[in-house]
Each structure stands twice: as structure tokens, then as C-alpha cells.
Structure 1
Amino acid sequence: MSNSAAPAIALLAGKASKRKRLAGELQGFGYRVVFAGDPDELDAERLQAVQTDAWLLELAEESLLADWLLEHSPVPVLLGAGEIPDAACEDYPRWQRRLLGKLLPLLGEPPQVQNLAPVVVPQLRHDAPSCVWVLGASLGGPAAVKRFLDQLPADLPIAFIYAQHIDAGFEQQLPQILGRQNDWRIINCQPGAHLHRGDVLVAPVSRSLRFGNEGVVQLSDEPWPGLYRPSIGAVLDETLRTFGAATGAIIFSGMGEDGVEACGRLRQQGIEVWTQDEQSAACATMPKAVQDAGFSHREGSPETLAAALRDWLQQEWPLAL
């Protein structure tokens, strides 16, 4: 039985099977799905007539309907729930928690719905980040990442993991280098630590990084896979495994192709992957490899990417700002 007091969600997805699955998930959380439309049959006039408390979009990257909603919708617009794991998969509960974790700040907790199994609401620390983005870089990376961080206020609801190809002897110096002239808390990895809003966690060179329950930092003596230390690809995969749909990535200046395949896996999950543009990068080989593979959703200078991230956070997590 539906509850008219429950917050309303309008759903727009290109695939009928995904619309049906997402509608079921949202109703299972206790929300009202008041609209679930095929974008091929809609226009702005139809969208404007929908009465809802929020929109959830699963559309192609270039969508006029998405652009119209982002510009004109009077209610929040949530972009992308990612690929829905099979209900028997161990990643399925994590996917549910991530989606619900995005909805709760926008809509609040829905009232109890009769005949529905209780939904486990994630209990987040008050200083926990809403999302965790990986900053991957190699040659020319520290200067680019510093330019990026200098343009961002440190009170945003985000934490970063900084994977920089660098000699082990310079690892401990990165917080001092990057932290000048900004308020970000740039820290080297300590086992047992949690990520907080405003943190930039430097991935270690000589030990591999893992995350335990609730995102607790763990370090392993097992070497990084592949040729690079740290492995940007491994950091991306581990961050995706731990934080799911709350993950993002920016690939800055560097040589080689470390992380390209992992960026593809992020994009398959509907997760944002951005890259530094060729004009602003000291060495454009690494970000260009991601672009050439078709995995980069946005390119720009460090300053442009910082401004875009502020806009993205405003759209995705407006109540967390």
C-alpha cells in the first residue's frame, strides 16, 4: 500500500528494464515513484508538468532532457544510480546503501511502508564525506593537483585520495607541497584512520592501500600490481569497491597509461571520470590515454575542473553543502 506522505521521485531512464528495476528499488525504500518515463517519448513540456520532490536520471551522456532539467527543475536532480548489481551479488547491499545515502539528504527518510522489509539506513559520521574522488597523477602532477585544490574550499562534502607516481623519498613531502595556500587536510596514510570531509589522503608508494569496514584505512605489505607505485588503477578499483556510486576520478598530468582500464570500469558503473586537458598539462600522455579510450566525461584545466566539481557537488549533494 502506498503512503501519500512519502516523498515523491520522478524517474527518467533510457532502458525499460532499468526503469522497472529502479522503480522497484525506490518503492522498496518507501518513496513514491510518481513518474517513470521513456525519454524518447518526452519533451520539456511533459517534464514541466510532473509534480515531484526530486528527479533521478539514468540517461545517455548527451541528453537535452537532462540539460533542461538541470537548468530549469525547481527540485533536486540526481544523476545516475550506476549499474544495479544482481540481488544475489555481495555488492548489491552496498549499492543500495549508496543510492539511499544520496536520497536521504535530498528527501529525508520515508515513513514506514506497510508490508515492506525494513531498509537499513546508513549511519554516517557527521564529518563523513558524501563522496570520495581519486586524483591520479604522474609527471607534472603535484603542480596540477595543487592548482586544483587551491581553487576549492576545504569545507565541501568530499574527500580525495591522491595517487601520485613519485619516489618513496618524496612521499612524506607531498602534504607540505600541496597544502600551502589552501585549507585542505593533506595527510599520509595511517592504518585505522577514517576519511573526513576536507581530507586529501596520499596513497603510499611502498605499501598498498585497502579499505576495511566503514572505509577504515588499511595498509598491506603486498606490492602494488603493475609497473607503477602507487598503482592508480588499483587505487581506483579499491575506491570503487569501498565507496561504490559515491566515487569519482580525475586524471591529471602524467606519463604512461596507468588507470585507463580502471577508468573504463568506473564509466561502466555510471561514475564520473574527468581529465586534465592537453593545453594545461605538463605531460598529457596519461589523461589523453583516458580521453582516447572514450572514458573521459569532462576535460579542462585544473581551475576549470575545480569549478566544475563545485557545480557537480551543488547538484548532487545540495543539502550537504
Structure 2
Amino acid sequence: MTDAQAPTIALLVSSERGRRTLGQAVQGFGYQLVFDTAPERVQLSELTEVVADLWLLDMPDESALADWLLESSPVPVLLGSGEIPPPEHEDHVRWQRRLLQKLSALLGDAPQAPPVRLVPTPLPVSRRCVWLLGASLGGPAAVKQFLDVLPAQAPVAFVYAQHIDAGFESQLPHILGRQNAWRIRNCTEGSQLQHGEVLVAPIGRMLHFGAEGQVQLQEQPWPGAYQPAIETLLDELARTFAPHCGAIIFSGMGEDGVAACGRLRRQGMEVWTQSAASAACSTMPQAVRTAGYSSRDGSPDELAAALQQWLEQERAADA
């Protein structure tokens, strides 16, 4: 069979992002896309000339174009595709599956459809937002409280650098992940850090990120007195993910990371600290504040709420 025999679909979708995502999806399923012009550039007379087996609409409630299609179209009209989750989110797979089921019910399977791989599209490194969570004494409780408040659907990933005995490294995902939906994991060579994840920095080996953001583990220990070295990790995140990165320094002893926080701030990125009143040990966040590098201070709950608001503002600015 040829591509000409595949059922044809016409889109009338207000959102440019929605139109692009739907167009990619239907063609990935093996259907033909024959019309996807932005509605504001379409005249009513043009709709009568479009030959398609199905119209897929996602329009405002009041639209003369949509009204005409619903009343006069000789082919099925599918209203709405549901809210489209970001490509990196696990719900994107479910959205694809629901859409394919609806199309198949109305049109049948595309006769020459390639195997459909319903998997999330990895987010490019340039669009990944990655923050470091640095902590020492009292850190696990503070970081868990922070993650319990921040929704796991937030468009951000974390690298968690906790000064702790190496014997507890494998237990940190379980400790932090109870009662929240974050995907918390230890490092695996070659894996990709995606939004909704918390990557636990290894204690005994250095962590780097490749050109595509892939995890690279090295056998040599971290430089300096701290394992893992927040100082080194902050520079690594800035090298790989800037300008979409930041840091939050939670409860702890020592001054690990202070100088790197300064370098981050000079590049215009955010550095936040846990407040002294809420920290089991305020020495580490206080060192960052004293150096003048903290751009926000608060309890874990307050920092989580602030980050959610900051991410929303960033998303609006990029739209």
C-alpha cells in the first residue's frame, strides 16, 4: 500500500504548540496530514475545499469555523485532544495512546503506519531546567520536606548533593521518595536526567554530564574535603545546563559550595538558602548568605512554593 491510501486528517487548532504536537503525532501514527493552517489565517470558504477523512479541532468555544464544520462537515469531526502534557512528562505517553485510540475508532488503523513507539521525547539539554540541592547535617529531612511540597509535575530536575556516609547513598531515594511522586534515583552511567527526577550524586565517584546531558561517572574521588563536592557539582551544572539552572543550599555544616554560588550569581542564575530558623544546622546556608550570594531565603516549604512560582514565570516568559 502507498501513503496515498492512509486516512487523511485536517487540523484546526488555535495553539501553535498544540498544532505542531498534534501534527507530529498523527503523522507518527501513519495518517496523512492534509491541512494544519492557523485558524486566524483561514477563511470559511477555504474549509469547503479541504478534502480529508477527519477534522481534528481544538478551538475556542465561539468560532465560526468550528460551528460550520460541526454543522456541515461530511466527515467526522473530533473535538479536542485533551490537555497536551509536555513531551518529557510520563503523561505524554498516555495522551498519545488516547489520541491514537480515538483516531483508530473513527478511521481505522493507518495501512502503512510505522511501529508507534509511545515513549516520552527526551527534552533537549538546552531546555532542561536543573537545580542543585546541596545539604549536609540535617539535609535529608529538609530536602524531603521541600520535595513533599513541590509538585513532581514541575518542569525541573534536581541533582541532590548530600554530605553523608557512603553506606547510606543507596538508601537516599527511599528516604526522600516516601509520600511524594518524584522519581528519585542513584546515578547510572549513560542515563539522562529529565524533569520530574532527582538524581542522587554519588559519594565516592565524581559525576560529570556529557554533551547531551548524559550521566558520566568517574572512578576518582571528589576534590577537596567534601564528598560529594557541592563546589565541583555547581560548576558542572553551570557548564552543562546554564542558563537554566540554580541552587538551593539546605541545612549543613561547613562552607562547601560558597565560591561556586558566587560564580553562579555572577552569571545571573538563582542561589537560594534555607533559613536559619528552619535549619537543623545553619552554618552552610549562612556562609552563602554572609558572602552575599543568596537571592532568596526561606523554610523548605517556602522555598518549594517560591520555586513553583519561579518556574511558572519562566515558562510564561518562554511561551
CA distance in 1, matches of 2:177, 2:318: 24
Q: Secondary structure at the match of 1:214?
A: coil
Q: Is the 8 A contact 1:127 1:197 kept in 2?
A: no
Aligned to 2:164: 166
Task: Give 2:158's aligned amino acid.
Answer: F
Instruction: Output one character per residue of 1:60-113: Cα deviation in whole Å (capped at 9) or x when no partner.
Output: xxxxxxxxxxxxxxxxxxxxxxxxxxxxxxxxxxxxxxxxxxxxxxxxxxxxxx
Q: Secondary structure at the match of 1:155?
A: coil
Higher relative contact order (CA 8 A, sep 6+): 1
CA distance in 1, matches of 2:318, 2:133: 21
Aligned to 2:198: 200
Q: Is the 8 A contact 2:190 2:216 kept in 1?
A: yes
Q: What is the CA distance between 1:319 and its match in structure 2?
A: 8.0
Task: Give 1:169's aligned amino acid.
Answer: G
Aligned to 2:153: 155
Instruction: Output one character per residue of 1:127-157: Cα deviation in whole Å (capped at 9) or x when no partner.
Output: 8763100000000000000000000111111
Aligned to 1:220: 218
CA distance in 2, matches of 1:312, 1:213: 27
Aligned to 2:242: 244
Q: Is the 8 A contact 1:156 1:197 kept in 2?
A: yes
Aligned to 1:139: 137
The share of aligned pairs that are identical, in percent, is 65
Aligned to 2:28: none
Task: Summarize the alignment of residues 276-295 of structure 1 with structure 2, pairs less than 5 Å apart.
Answer: 276-295=274-293
CA distance in 1, matches of 2:261, 2:284: 12
Aligned to 1:298: 296
Q: Secondary structure at the match of 1:178?
A: helix
Q: Is the 8 A contact 2:128 2:194 kept in 1?
A: no
Unmatched segments (≥5 aa) in structure 1: 1-123
CA distance in 2, matches of 1:211, 1:130: 13
Task: Give 1:263's aligned amino acid.
Answer: C
Structure of larger gyration radius: 2
2:115 pairs with 1:125: no
**TM-score, normalization by structure 2:** 0.60
Aligned to 2:229: 231
Q: What is the CA distance between 1:196 and its match in structure 2?
A: 1.0
CA distance in 1, matches of 2:167, 2:216: 21
Q: What is the CA distance between 1:320 and its match in structure 2?
A: 8.1
Task: Give 2:251's aligned amino acid.
Answer: S
Q: What is the CA distance between 1:125 and its match in structure 2?
A: 2.5
Change (3 A) 1:190 1:320: farther
Aligned to 1:41: none
Q: Is the 8 A contact 2:258 2:287 kept in 1?
A: yes
CA distance in 2, matches of 1:318, 1:179: 29
Aligned to 2:15: none
Task: Give 1:271's aligned amino acid.
Answer: M
Q: Is the 8 A contact 2:123 2:194 kept in 1?
A: no
CA distance in 1, matches of 2:257, 2:317: 32
CA distance in 1, matches of 2:158, 2:194: 9
**TM-score, normalization by structure 1:** 0.60
CA distance in 2, matches of 1:319, 1:270: 16
Q: Secondary structure at the match of 1:234?
A: helix
Change (3 A) 1:279 1:285: same
CA distance in 2, matches of 1:320, 1:134: 22
Q: Is the 8 A contact 2:137 2:251 kept in 1?
A: yes
CA distance in 1, matches of 2:171, 2:318: 32
Change (3 A) 1:241 1:127: closer
CA distance in 2, matches of 1:319, 1:292: 31
Task: Give 2:212's aligned amino acid.
Answer: E
Q: Secondary structure at the match of 1:236?
A: helix
RMSD: 1.6
Q: Secondary structure at the match of 1:291?
A: helix
Aligned to 2:177: 179
Instruction: Output one character per residue of 1:209-266: Cα deviation in whole Å (capped at 9) or x when no partner.
Output: 0001111100001210110100011110100011110110000000000000000000
Unmatched segments (≥5 aa) in structure 2: 1-120
Task: Summarize the alignment of residues 90-101 of structure 1 with structure 2, pairs less than 5 Å apart.
Answer: none
